Amino acid sequence: MFGSLKALPADPILGLLAKYREDSNPKKVDLGVGVYKNEAGHTAILNCVKKAEKYRYDTEDTKVYIGPTGSPLFNEEMSKLIFGHHKALLENRVRTVSTPGGTGALRVAAEFIKSCKAGTTIWVSNPTWANHTGLFQAAGLTVKTYPYYDYENKTLDFDGMLAALKEVSADDAVLLHACCHNPSGMDLTNEQWQQVAEVAKAKAWLPVLDMAYQGFGDGLDEDAYGLRLIAESVEEMIVCSSCSKNFGLYRERIGAATIIANSTANADIANSVLLSVVRCIYSMPPAHGAALVETILHSDELRQLWHAELKEMRDRINGNRQILVDKLAENGVERDFSFITRQKGMFSFLGITPEQVQRLQDEFSIYMVGSSRMSIAGIAKSNVDYLAQSIAKVL
């Protein structure tokens, strides 16, 4: 049976990482992989996580299954983190389950949508995270795109986006990036979120909010503004969240899938379907990452420490954006790169050609995705001069 298989191309980002590792150039720069790095280029464990791990080591007394929903305390704390003091929580219309990372949350959401209506079309932004399309198609959904990023003007094509969303059928779903858009870094303003919320309410399509970077943009509550506004405007929605970035728990694979229904009774019905989906995919979620997150969020001391460490990461990313723009100008680059400072989160499109991206790799050992999407966290004081000089040369 295996003889009929044909090799599939490797993931381009993972392939880029392999080339970077093999490169012997001491000046090499990795701007490809979307993980947070400190000034030393290391993805360190947060201090709040270390303290939570010690607490878990001292108190854990069993490895028994925790059930398809995951830890009730994790689900409760994540719901509060996502929604704050939202009326949907107060009205008991929210149901959350823990998942194997944000990717697991998206796949659970896709299977849940299929259970609601087989063959549903889900609309994603152009561009979007590369794995979105594969995840939704694997669940049997049809994937279409709506305009989002204006490559020529390095800004949001909001008029095109809004016009497209007004044409989406009530039987369809729409994926929206809650904050720190991956890969463009271009987020909606609060006023633009208001307009999207009005369209979502009027057209009655299902909003699916992907929030992988809460806290990496402007702050925990600020980054959830659009999501919470949508939740006030519609009766049903899905949220897929991740703890990989803001807690630095990449390898622990912990995220959450959250459903809002129009009543407590319908939330219970939807939750029963959600649990059936979970049971048929991975049966029970991993426990360790969820235990760390709930310990941090449930402790005043650890939560405050987390807020401080998260702010440090956020400020460093935003600072990297400004310093790169400044260094490009210092190196005589006349092209306006100020758009980089107006973007949010881990990523930005540099806006250079694939040929120039390849030259950066071949001649200067600077690695980024062919679309010129770069991970801002890969910039450091030790490499930004070399990076800016190299970009200036290929321009």
Q: Catalytic site residues? A: 129, 210, 245
Using DSSP, state whether 295 is helix, strand or coil: helix
What's the distance, Cα to Cα, between the start and end of the chain in Å? 51
At position 125, the amino acid (one-letter code) is: S
Cis, bond preceding 9 (omega within 30 deg of 0): no
Scored b (16 or more CB within 10 A) or e, 320-343 reads bbebbbebbbebebeeebebbeeb
- Cα–Cα distance, 41 to 47 (Å, whole number): 17
Q: Which residues contact 117 (CB under 8 A, 6 or more apart)?
A: 171
Q: Which residues contact 9 (CB under 8 A, 6 or more apart)?
A: none
101 in Cβ contact with 255 (< 8 Å): yes
What are all long-range contacts of 298-304, with beta carbons under 8 Å and residues at least 24 apart? 298/73, 298/77, 299/52, 302/48, 302/51, 302/52, 303/48
- Cα–Cα distance, 108 to 97 (Å, whole number): 10
